[in-house]
């Protein structure tokens, strides 16, 4: 699960390891629209966008092909958040990408964008308390 998230977010090498499509003129969905969908989904789940971090904005420059959000919550709250995030994304026009194989991993697509929503229990991470979970939303632009 975490490996899929790392791959979708461009790997450990950041934007340099991710093919950049730049501002595609044929794309019907831009980065700001994806960011807006992500923020609305977080709000629907009771998560505060400002109480976390992103790696798709460095030095005030937004990566045109990537939007992400990483935050922590108590595990029961994080478990309840994922279906709420998924429902909000679906209301915004995101379609499930494949079968939902795991309760802690959702995959969506919209236009030429893909988004992974996942929860990783704190017991699996050194930087999160054992009673907490990391929630991450990772979106990247791919070809249609």
pLDDT interval class at 24 (50, 70, 90): very low
How far is residue 76's CA from residue 90's CA, in Å, rounded to a whole number?
22
Contacts of 65 (CB under 8 A, 6+ apart): 15, 18, 20, 21, 22, 31, 140, 141
- Would residue 60 count as lying in a domain? yes
- Would residue 21 count as lying in a domain? no
Asked if residue 133 has pLDDT above 60, the reply is yes
Instruction: Give me the domain span that covers residue 52.
Output: 2-11+29-141
pLDDT interval class at 53 (50, 70, 90): confident
pLDDT digits (tens, 9 = 90+) for 31-50: 999 999 999 999 999 999 88
pLDDT digits (tens, 9 = 90+) for 55-109: 778 888 889 999 999 999 999 999 999 999 999 999 999 999 877 667 789 999 9
Write down the pTM of the prediction: 0.78
Confidence (pLDDT) at 102 = 76
Q: Specify the CATH number for the domain of residue 93.
A: 3.30.310
Q: What is each CA distance from 58 to 83, 90, 91, in whole angstroms? A: 30, 29, 30
pLDDT interval class at 116 (50, 70, 90): very high
Three-state secondary-structure class, residue 112: coil
Asked if residue 21 has pLDDT above 70, the reply is no
- Would residue 59 count as lying in a domain? yes
Number of structural domains in the chain: 1
Confidence (pLDDT) at 86 = 95
- Would residue 120 count as lying in a domain? yes
Given phi > 0 = left and psi -120 to 50 = alpha, else beta, which region is 14?
left
């Amino acid at each position: 699960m975490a490996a899929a998230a790392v791959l979708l977010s461009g790997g450990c090498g950041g934007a340099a390891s991710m093919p950049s499509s730049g501002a595609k003129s044929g794309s019907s969905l831009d980065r700001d629209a994806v960011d807006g969908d992500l923020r609305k989904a977080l709000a629907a789940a009771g998560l505060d966008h400002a109480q976390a971090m992103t790696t798709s904005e460095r030095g005030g420059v937004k990566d045109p092909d990537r939007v992400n959000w990483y935050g922590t919550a108590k595990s029961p709250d994080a478990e309840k958040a994922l279906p709420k995030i998924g429902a909000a994304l679906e209301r915004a026009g995101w379609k499930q990408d494949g079968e939902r194989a795991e309760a802690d991993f959702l995959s969506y697509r919209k236009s030429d964008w893909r988004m992974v929503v996942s929860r990783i229990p704190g017991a699996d991470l050194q930087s999160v308390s054992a009673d907490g979970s990391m929630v991450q939303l990772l979106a990247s632009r791919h070809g249609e």
